[in-house]
Structure 1
């Protein structure tokens, strides 16, 4: 097999595989209402992906079954949110138009049925736009605006088409979404129809810039015609504004393209448009030649309305050159052609021409007749233009009001949501702060309790240790005292040795409680009996150290002999010190000194 045929077979196989994959992708959801309700609820959705897939399947399905399916989708639990509403209404409107209006165009339809379906579509588009505005997503709003206008234009809703086509295109530009040059050109054509010439020129130039980037004439359907129209439309707008130099510039560019593409019809039309410019310059013979060329080519191609317009312009040129009868025949020929392709604008122009021709021929009855007809047509067209302008303004106003109201509602919802979140956050924050404060207080309390417990334990341990030391100290004193008493008894009974007698004498003369001993004793004593000495000082400011010592020993419940031995004084001195302490405390004879000291 030759290499070329092998390559062709491989390419054919690849195309088949791609086609199968695309078909499989389109039909993977089938007509499952729940799945499609979920799909239509997504934010990202355009005509060329899932919506296109669903519309294609609906077109291949029986009308009754398709409508039941759409009802099931709308009732599905997955049908939630404004995105679903916008997408679903667009799908249903497209189905109604494609299936109920466009399909089987040969089948006779009653005007009432078409109007009923059109009304239903209008309601669907209004609902879709309202839902789109609630999403506050510019891409969705632009998409719904543009495609609803595209369909409504086919139903003759010019004002709707103008307003929402422009709205959709402007939103696409705002978000940086690429707008196809066909869209700009069609929008410019709409604006030309409603005599919005400045805006027409602006969007037409955007279309021209877009078409300049299109190198392949097979990218779009009728690309060549679109490119020619892209220049012709602003040319007509400039002509209507009487800006003839600018009109000639655009006509000339369009004519160059028409000749390059060998489009004889558009070549004739553009030459006819240039002929109008020559007519304004009083170059009637040159203009007439171009009008005749336009007439012949348009008639040959079956464009009878354009041929009629060229004929009535030729009649004007002939009238200007004094050829009244020829002008009359050409104007009558224009009337005949308009019976095949009616066009109110061209009929009005033809009536105007016939009025002028009959007036030049002094046929005043005919001139009056065509003048009346011209006035009626002109008034009707002007009224339509005004109505369209008012309808556009009203649509723009309604759109702005609707958008403002929805934005206001959404803003209020956001503010309420924000306030609610702030309140919730404040409550949570306050709760956390209170919890932290409580926790901190609890920790402080716990630490304080633990510290107090530790201090108490330490104090208990110190007190226990002091008691043990004091007990040891007093026990030691008591032992010494007992030893001295025993030794004294031995001396009295003369049982002690000479050496023992000497020791006893030294012990009797020894001061057991020195100053250092007193300091040590006092520290131990205060651990056991805190504030004792301070209370004594507060009770009797002049109390002496000796009296304080006596009071401490009394508090320890020592005997007179034990005190005597401990202080290194005689028993008599102990009695005297006790007496001085009683006097210092100003105690009468009825008060027990030991009990009073114990209460301090």
Structure 2
């Protein structure tokens, strides 16, 4: 009797222990099981708790890790794909909040979650996974891709079912700005700003300031100065109306806005009004230790000194700006290029050829790296990845079709034996056909990957060739100056940098990377000549007139005239940009 009582006591103790362990995780499990359109908002409650816990890392991190252990133990005993996806997301978001290092396995796990969400046929859950994939892939080619996929699915389901939708548009806008796609950056940036009055509870005022800055900077790159000035003035008006609680943020963003307005005024010819505003940006950024903004303002002031033929003052400023870029944590390449190019030009004017040659080499190396980086982030590469994703969907549809055929076969098996035999034969035949189709799709996908890889390598070689040929021009310039020859332009114009063999290799790689470009161009101009083809393809790569001139062995003026003739042949209106129209042929 005593043994029986002891056994009952042990069983009650185990049950109580199990209940105590399940109590902390029960709210999460209940929220994660939801499959309707309320699932995102329900799951967000758990993520909000993570944000609160990070306020005391030492105390809350062990509790968080203990909770994860309980969740994993529950999932081991109760396998469920939906819970597995939610737990993976929760674990990775916890690493973000508790500032823990993420590893390669996190990327593998979240990518597997995409497959599981496909399997569940839950687009809303898939949109959440793509959002987290974008955050993990920040700074890579996948960053824009996954944000675009998330926006596509969120738009389909309805933006009201998601928090922080505006952040997806901001991420795309910022990524496109870094890829030099300024028009599309403005497009997505304005869509982001439109959420300010819709998602007020989740709206981050600092994201709003950053988005205004990206839109203003994009307009500045597009030479639309009034629009750029308008959005930077919006930053000032916002901070004046409702100052940021952090003095550092308040002071820095006011300085950034004023400095960019000053830059616009200088570009519009109002230097007397613009220079003091740029100096405000320089001095305030120096006070706050923002090296990137210090370099930005210093580059602008150095360019004014150079314009006024104060070459030594310009050189000193550009050198200082160049040193500051190495102390900045981000966004330095553009300012480095401006500083190094300025140093090179100043040494040329001061007749110090060795130093000019040295910084010329640095400039070409930085420029080539940046060109390759931008090329790898182009939206066309993103579209290719989306097409690859669609091929995966096609394979999944074929597998689903195969499962459906199995059900049909099983139904026929319940009938007459003779019909069963016939059905099996038909099924096997269809299975072989489906397998053959799957193999064809796999081969096509592998062939497409190889072609794209080869095309990108050739385009990378082409970009490197540009740098080498610009360096060659510098060598020729030094030689000609040393010999006392002044007629430099005539000598360079006689040097043809693109042979028929080079053009043939380039065109082959270009056609693989952008298969629709030349067919669309020939539809547009039925009697197009080879010179127009070369010009259009170089415009599509967003090379400037000087680079195109170097590649074609002609002068920059000749490039401008050729562009005007091509624009006339296409019958574009005067207010339309030929470059935008040519680049649109890839869309």
Partner of 2:150: 168
How far off is 1:329 after superposition?
2.2
Partner of 2:35: 43
Partner of 1:522: none
User: How far, CA to CA, are the matches of 2:52 and 2:238 in structure 1?
Assistant: 36
Q: Is the 8 A contact 2:322 2:335 kept in 1?
A: no
User: How far, CA to CA, are the matches of 1:84 and 1:267 in structure 2?
Assistant: 46
Other structure's SS at 1:29 match: helix
Q: Deviations over 1:327-371 (max 9, x none)?
A: 222222213323432523322221112122222222222222222
Q: Deviations over 1:368-413 (max 9, x none)?
A: 2222111111211221222233763554343333333224433544
Match of 1:373 among 362, 385, 401: 362
How far off is 1:127 after superposition?
0.2
1:229–1:62 distance in 2 versus 1, CA, 3 Å: closer
Q: Report whether the alignment pairs 1:278 with 2:265.
A: yes
How far off is 1:124 after superposition?
0.6
1:79–1:41 distance in 2 versus 1, CA, 3 Å: farther
1:95–1:391 distance in 2 versus 1, CA, 3 Å: farther
Q: Report whether the alignment pairs 1:320 with 2:307.
A: yes
How far off is 1:249 after superposition?
3.3
How far off is 1:284 after superposition?
4.0
Q: Deviations over 1:30-72 (max 9, x none)?
A: 257xx97786454254341356669989964368756654543
How far off is 1:167 after superposition?
1.1
Partner of 1:94: 93
Partner of 1:501: none
Spell out the pairing of 1:227-306 with structure 2 (5 A cutoff).
227-261=208-242, 263-306=250-293
Partner of 2:141: 159
User: How far, CA to CA, are the matches of 1:255 and 1:424 in structure 2?
Assistant: 75
How far off is 1:307 after superposition?
0.9
How far off is 1:143 after superposition?
1.0
1:322–1:426 distance in 2 versus 1, CA, 3 Å: farther
Q: Is the 8 A contact 1:36 1:73 kept in 2?
A: no
User: How far, CA to CA, are the matches of 1:246 and 1:412 in structure 2?
Assistant: 56
1:324–1:141 distance in 2 versus 1, CA, 3 Å: same
1:198–1:138 distance in 2 versus 1, CA, 3 Å: farther
Q: Deviations over 1:482-512 (max 9, x none)?
A: xxxxxxxxxxxxxxxxxxxxxxxxxxxxxxx
1:50–1:119 distance in 2 versus 1, CA, 3 Å: same
Spell out the pairing of 1:121-200 with structure 2 (5 A cutoff).
121-153=106-138, 156=139, 158-178=140-160, 180=164, 181-200=166-185
User: How far, CA to CA, are the matches of 2:411 and 2:338 in structure 1?
Assistant: 69
Q: Is the 8 A contact 1:162 1:392 kept in 2?
A: yes
Q: Is the 8 A contact 1:309 1:350 kept in 2?
A: no
User: How far, CA to CA, are the matches of 1:227 and 1:97 in structure 2?
Assistant: 22
Partner of 1:476: none
Q: Is the 8 A contact 2:124 2:157 kept in 1?
A: yes
Partner of 1:202: 187
Partner of 1:403: 393
How far off is 1:274 after superposition?
2.7
User: How far, CA to CA, are the matches of 2:279 and 2:92 in structure 1?
Assistant: 45
Partner of 1:353: 342
User: How far, CA to CA, are the matches of 1:202 and 1:421 in structure 2?
Assistant: 53
User: How far, CA to CA, are the matches of 2:210 and 2:146 in structure 1?
Assistant: 22
Q: Report whether the alignment pairs 1:341 with 2:328.
A: yes
1:270–1:279 distance in 2 versus 1, CA, 3 Å: same
User: How far, CA to CA, are the matches of 1:405 and 1:297 in structure 2?
Assistant: 57
Spell out the pairing of 1:442-453 with structure 2 (5 A cutoff).
none
Which of the pair has more CA radius of gyration?
Answer: 1
Partner of 1:364: 353
Q: Is the 8 A contact 2:169 2:191 kept in 1?
A: yes
User: How far, CA to CA, are the matches of 1:253 and 1:98 in structure 2?
Assistant: 31
User: How far, CA to CA, are the matches of 2:191 and 2:108 in structure 1?
Assistant: 32
Moved more, 241-250 or 294-303: 241-250
Partner of 1:75: 76
TM-score w.r.t. length of structure 1:
0.55
User: How far, CA to CA, are the matches of 2:290 and 2:204 in structure 1?
Assistant: 17
Q: Is the 8 A contact 2:185 2:218 kept in 1?
A: yes
Moved more, 233-242 or 280-289: 280-289
> Structure 1: which 5+ runs fail to align?
1-25, 104-113, 428-600
Task: Count the aligned residue pairs.
Answer: 377
Q: Is the 8 A contact 1:258 1:264 kept in 2?
A: no
How far off is 1:222 after superposition?
4.9
Moved more, 167-176 or 43-52: 43-52
Other structure's SS at 2:23 match: coil
Partner of 1:111: none
Q: Is the 8 A contact 1:284 1:321 kept in 2?
A: no
Moved more, 331-340 or 133-142: 331-340
Other structure's SS at 1:61 match: helix
User: How far, CA to CA, are the matches of 1:321 and 1:73 in structure 2?
Assistant: 73
Q: Deviations over 1:454-501 (max 9, x none)?
A: xxxxxxxxxxxxxxxxxxxxxxxxxxxxxxxxxxxxxxxxxxxxxxxx
Q: Is the 8 A contact 2:220 2:228 kept in 1?
A: yes
Q: Is the 8 A contact 2:258 2:277 kept in 1?
A: yes
User: How far, CA to CA, are the matches of 1:317 and 1:247 in structure 2?
Assistant: 20
